[in-house]
């Protein structure tokens, strides 16, 4: 088997002017996002990105384009996603890249692509931004999964182009970016037909793909450009523009330390490599909130509600990809709680304004990134904390929360309407509802405290925190809890946490994270996929894979 390779990801930020694989153009209410992957421009130099196959760098650009469309181009109503390469839309994730990557990189790569596609769907549901996948060639594996995340799919009818999910028959793994779930839960393909499709490596061409519901429409090559343009115009006209002008998303300013620390304006990430822990601290605003919608647009990306959460998002991604041995993240806040509440109130008061709504939705996406961390998380509520409003959601997302009980320096948390469904989890319910499954009274009792500080004794009684050590026991109790947690099996902890975090009903999104990702994680370690004679290892070689036929 090829040696597993990992390189630190230097940046999760980019800009359309720096894209290597996508081209973004805008014409009124319609944007075109054209995939033209450069074979030799992968994140590593040990593979070629053939047939428009992608790696993490391609998805970083896609994520950037999606965020810029939401914030910088609110007049866009339809995004046409297509390819500049003839005969192929996208061949999916690059197989040599997967075969030679470390296990943790493969899993985090799949998670990032899943989050990007779920965010794409959220942009449709929240912002009315309709995505049209214009498949001008074959879409295989992750390429078709990208199309499945779009609202509409058009496939060229040229008697050769097809859609397929060939991972099971060719690679011995699963379509890892939501393909299985979206086939049956989103496109409502019959499960017996989905079974045939997912085991037919060559997939289906236009006529059968339309018949099975795998795509919405097909156009012959002679009418391809005309058909796609008409469909895009129809889709764009169905939704009014939210605003004529957007705001600019500038690069984040970050000071990177040799020890892996990252210091932003409002977020500080520090790493204890020897202890296998990291601390993420979010600071409260140091300026008052915008006075109105015009002032919010004038501040743009500099406003705390957006900047702090952009910084938190970046810090979380670096933890995932660049600090794989960190097993426990300590979540802290510091600063004036009143300042956080004032900025939260500004967004709430401006609800219905396109930018205020986009910032709120962005905060929700970052909080769902917290939910999906494959690391243990403890929230520490101490004297300096400002776990109130939107930041209190971080406490609810943590696996445990410790709140200092010191009568001489009282600590407090505070709920706002933010905890009553403003930031739903992947399951579609609030973190407070997830905390109290099937106990609506407990949820309402907690929400009844909105507007008032909740101190340790009451917070413990309401179930808002896990434990409330006093000032004499605080240091020892936190130290013992940390030492115990990092001593446990990381595999067992990941499985335990993912089962405990997503409580109650399931959605298409929660199935992708809680079911598909868990199975893919397991399959990525099995010899049938990655052993010396596994299907993923031998892909592209003349030898056939050799399987262990035992079913488990």
Give the total number of structural domains in the chain.
Answer: 2
Residues 283 and 413 in one domain: yes
Q: Are residues 350 and 443 in the same domain?
A: yes
Domain shared by 233 and 286, yes or no: no
Residues 55 and 201 grouped into a single domain = yes
Q: Convert the pLDDT of each residue in 12-41 to its tens digit.
A: 999 999 999 999 999 999 999 999 999 999
Residue 517 pLDDT grade (very low, low, confident, very high; cuts 50, 70, 90):
confident
pLDDT at 259 over 90: no
pLDDT at 2 over 70: no
Give 546's pLDDT tier (boundaries 50, 70, 90): very high
Which of 493, 517, 533 delimits the end of a domain? 493
Domain extent at residue 437: 256-493
Q: Is the dihedral of CA 72, 348, 12, 54 positive or negative?
A: negative
* pLDDT surpassing 50 at residue 1: no
Q: Would you say residue 88 has pLDDT above 50?
A: yes
Report the share of the chain in percent with pLDDT over 70: 99
In order of 17, 313, 325, 398, 412, the CA distances from 372 in angstroms are: 30, 12, 17, 11, 26
The enclosing domain of 201 has a CATH number of 3.90.226.10
CB 316 within 8 A of CB 269: no
> 321 and 368: one domain?
yes
Same domain, 195 and 337: no
The answer as to whether 403 is a domain residue is: yes
Same domain, 217 and 134: yes
For residues 217-222, give the mean pLDDT. Answer: 97
In a domain, 547, yes or no: no
- The whole-number pLDDT of residue 524 equals 86
SS3 493: helix
Query: Rounded CA gap, 233 and 400, in Å?
Result: 50
Contact 411, 337 (CB under 8 A): no
pLDDT of 96 > 60? The answer is yes
Choose one of 454, 473, 493: the last residue of a domain.
Answer: 493
Distance separating alpha carbons of residues 89 and 51, to the nearest angstrom: 8
164 and 261 part of one domain: no
Residue 3, pLDDT above cutoff 70? no
Residues 24 and 75 in one domain: yes
pLDDT at residue 533, as a whole number: 93
List, in sequence order, every residue forming a beta bridge with 351; answer none if it has no partner.
353
Burial class (CB in 10 A: 0-12, 13-18, 19+), 165: buried
Is residue 283 one of the residues assigned to a domain? Answer: yes
The DSSP call for residue 370 is: H
Asked if residue 349 belongs to a domain, the reply is yes
Q: Is residue 399 part of a domain?
A: yes
| DSSP characters over 374-394 | SSEEEEEE-TT---BGGGHHH
Q: How many helices (H) and strands (E) does the chain have?
A: 22, 19
Over residues 474-498, the mean pLDDT reads 94
Separation CA 12–CA 252 (nearest Å)? 10
In a 3-state reduction of DSSP, which class is residue 18? helix
**Domain check: are 135 and 183 in the same one?**
yes
Inter-CA distances, 477 with 208, 384, 466, Å: 62, 18, 13
Give yes or no: residues 325 and 470 share one domain: yes
Residue 5 has pLDDT above 50, yes or no: yes
One domain for residues 179 and 263: no
Q: What is the DSSP letter of 451?
A: T
Residue 155 has pLDDT above 60, yes or no: yes
pLDDT exceeds 50 at position 350: yes
442, 459, 493 - which closes a domain: 493
Q: Is residue 219 assigned to a domain? A: yes
503 within domain boundaries: no
Tens-place pLDDT, residues 113-123: 999 999 999 99
Q: Tell me the mean pLDDT in the region 125-142.
A: 97
Does residue 511 belong to any structural domain of this protein?
A: no
């Amino acid at each position: 088997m090829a040696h597993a390779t990992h390189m630190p990801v230097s940046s999760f930020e980019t800009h359309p002017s720096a894209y290597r694989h996508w081209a973004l153009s805008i014409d009124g209410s319609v944007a075109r996002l054209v995939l033209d992957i450069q074979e030799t421009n992968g994140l590593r130099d040990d593979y070629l990105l053939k047939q428009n196959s992608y790696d993490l760098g391609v998805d970083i650009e896609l994520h950037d384009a999606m965020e810029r469309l939401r914030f910088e181009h609110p007049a866009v109503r339809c995004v046409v996603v297509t390819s500049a390469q003839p005969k192929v839309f996208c061949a999916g994730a690059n197989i040599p890249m997967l075969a030679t990557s470390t296990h943790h990189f493969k899993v985090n790569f799949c998670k990032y692509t899943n989050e990007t596609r779920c965010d794409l769907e959220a942009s449709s549901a929240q912002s009315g931004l309709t995505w049209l996948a214009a498949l001008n060639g074959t879409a295989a594996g992750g390429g078709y999964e990208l199309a499945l995340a779009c609202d509409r799919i058009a496939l060229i009818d040229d008697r050769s182009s097809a859609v397929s999910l060939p991972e099971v028959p060719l690679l011995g793994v699963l379509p890892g970016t939501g393909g299985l779930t979206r086939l049956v839960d989103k496109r409502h393909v019959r499960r017996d037909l989905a079974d045939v499709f997912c085991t037919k490596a060559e997939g289906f061409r236009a006529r059968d793909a339309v018949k099975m519901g795998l795509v919405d429409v097909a156009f012959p090559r002679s009418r391809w450009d005309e058909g796609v343009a008409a469909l895009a115009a129809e889709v764009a006209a169905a939704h009014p523009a939210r605003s004529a002008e957007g705001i600019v998303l500038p690069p984040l300013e970050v000071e990177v330390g040799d020890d892996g620390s990252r210091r932003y304006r409002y977020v500080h990430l520090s790493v204890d490599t020897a202890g296998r822990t990291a601390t993420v601290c979010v600071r409260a605003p140091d300026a008052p909130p915008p006075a109105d919608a015009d002032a919010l647009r004038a501040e743009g990306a500099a406003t705390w509600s957006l900047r702090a959460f952009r910084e938190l998002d970046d810090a979380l991604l670096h933890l995932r990809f660049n600090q794989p041995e960190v097993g426990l993240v300590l979540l802290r806040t510091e600063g004036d709680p009143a300042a956080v509440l004032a900025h939260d109130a500004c967004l709430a008061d401006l609800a219905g304004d396109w930018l205020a709504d986009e910032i709120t939705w962005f905060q929700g996406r970052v909080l769902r990134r917290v939910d999906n961390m494959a690391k243990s998380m403890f929230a520490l509520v101490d004297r300096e904390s400002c776990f109130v409003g939107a930041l209190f959601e971080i406490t609810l997302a943590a696996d445990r929360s410790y709140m200092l009980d010191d009568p001489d320096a009282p600590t407090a948390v505070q709920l706002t309407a933010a905890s009553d469904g403003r930031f739903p989890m992947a399951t579609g319910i609030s973190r407070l509802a997830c905390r109290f499954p099937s106990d609506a009274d407990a949820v309402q009792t907690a929400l009844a405290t909105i507007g008032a500080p909740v101190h340790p004794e009451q917070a413990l009684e309401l179930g808002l925190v896990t434990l409330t050590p006093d000032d004499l026991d605080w240091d020892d109790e936190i130290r013992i809890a940390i030492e115990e947690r990092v001593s446990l099996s990381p595999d067992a902890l990941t499985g335990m946490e993912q089962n405990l975090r997503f409580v109650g009903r399931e959605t298409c999104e929660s199935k992708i994270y809680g079911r598909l990702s868990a199975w893919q994680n397991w399959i990525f370690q099995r010899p049938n996929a990655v052993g010396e004679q596994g299907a993923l290892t031998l892909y592209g070689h003349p030898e056939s894979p050799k399987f262990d036929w035992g079913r488990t």
